[in-house]
Amino acid sequence: MWATMTGIIRSALSAQKQFMVFSALVILTTCSLSYSQPQLVWLGTLGGNFSDGVDLEVSGSDVIVVGNSRNSAGYDRAFYWSRGSGMIEITPLSGYDSSWASRIKYGMVCVNSGARNNRFIRKAAIWSGGSLNPVRGWWFDTTYHVINSPAIGSYWSSDTENSYNQRCGYIYVGGSGRSYNTCSWWNDALLPHELIDSDDGYIVGFYTASASGIPNYKYVGVVIPPNADPNTYSIIIGDNCIPRSIVGGHVVGTIVPPISTRSSPFYFNVTSRQRIDLRGRGFHCSANDVSRDGTRIVGSGEEATDERIFYYPLVWQRDISGQWLMFDLNRWFSSGGSYLISVNAISQDGRYITGRGYNAATRRIEAYLADLQSIYLCESHSGDVNNNRCVDDADLLAVLFAFGRTGNNLGRVDVNCDRVVDDADLLQVLFNFGSGC
């Protein structure tokens, strides 16, 4: 039936009809849509020349960003930022000279205190209401997410600290008092010793396993389900996968082959246990965070030439057909010499992002807060909906099936990017029918 319909539509495209199509397209291109400009706020520093936003949380009408900066003395310091308070320095625990923030949940910030010149001396703590309190006396090399239940972290085993060869994960399930240690030797690693994030009882991490080539190990990404013993059961994401975030059963991260100079992003659905390797940009590309509904992912890419380094702050949007489309956010946020470098986190509603960029006004690398609400992630095109370089029946059918749909995630069926699939999109496909075939 659809083949007959498309045939009728194509045959009806007479010279007169072509003129009508052309006229419609001219009208469409001369009309402008009124959307407010995207908002970008540079957060400044703690007196040094660098800051980086690593996580954020919406709190009522405010947005809180946590991250890391350098103070005027050159030491690393965690920070807490809100519109009302500005940037607040989180000083390390007594006896330490540096602090680093990693996560925020319910207004509480996960902070590591440590020594600037020794990465094995780190102490996990929670900052809340202006007070920094150590967490259960654990010693971690790096603490990622100790706020939710289960609380998690990773550390170097104290009895092998000087040999640099045993890494351990720690899980504490609040209320039940259950705890697990998952320690593994580098070349005989079967347990998820590097724990990255937790949400709704799920934990993501990875372990190292023997592999051919140089180096002689590979990363294996895993998901530990709620109440599961990580020493006996976990869901395998895949070889060479390093997860970076889990939200609402959606996992994102980086694929790092053992002997490759490239890295690439991935998405994993815990329910379906399906992994999708996303299209990236640059030699090194990572998916860093995901919205709770799993329709928007943020990350970063970069590549170097002999002359300079190129940075790509990226967002992936899942359209109504389930296809992932990638966009460079500097298309909207690069202005006056300023540009974004990375995107580290996105709010659960998919509206706000944070990371670091170059602020031309201060000539510094600074953390930022950006609002994506006014941005429509879409790129107009000539009618090649499936992007196979040929405008044909498949593109026409895609527009017909989506005809009448509206929204912010229509994808390439919204040919002219006006947030509705209508006559204008159909006319664009018909006018360019046969191009590139």
Cβ burial, residue 231 (10 Å; 0-12/13-18/19+): middle
Q: Which tokens hold the place of 170? A: 């720690």
Residue 129 CA to residue 54 CA, distance in Å, equals 19
Alpha helices, DSSP H only, in 227-275? none
In the beta sheet, which residues pair with residue 209?
A: 218
Give the three-class secondary structure for 412: helix
Where exactly are the structural domains of the chain?
2-34+381-431, 39-371
**DSSP-assigned states of every residue in 73-102:** TS-EEEEEEETTTEEEEEPPPTT-SEEEEE
What count of residues does the chain have? 437
| Cβ 68 vs Cβ 76: under 8 Å | yes
Q: What is the pLDDT of residue 92?
A: 93
39-371: CATH topology is Methylamine Dehydrogenase; Chain H (2.130.10)
Q: What is the pLDDT of residue 146?
A: 57
Q: For residues 203, 204, 205 and 210, what is the CA-based torsion angle, rounded to 10 degrees?
A: 110
Closest CA to 68 of 51, 81, 55: 51
In the beta sheet, which residues pair with residue 69?
A: 51, 77
Which amino acid makes up residue 119? Answer: R
> For the whole model, what pTM was predicted?
0.83
Walk along the chain (437 residues) and give the pLDDT tens digit of each residue: 444 444 544 554 444 344 444 444 443 443 333 344 569 999 999 999 999 999 999 998 999 999 999 999 999 999 999 999 999 999 998 888 999 998 998 888 989 888 777 655 678 888 998 999 887 644 444 455 556 667 777 766 655 444 445 667 777 766 555 667 676 544 444 555 678 888 888 989 888 776 555 455 678 899 989 878 776 778 999 989 999 999 999 999 999 887 767 899 999 999 999 999 999 998 899 999 999 999 999 999 999 887 888 999 999 999 888 889 999 999 999 999 999 999 999 999 999 999 999 999 999 999 999 999 988 888 888 888 888 889 998 888 888 888 999 988 888 888 888 889 988 888 888 888 888 88
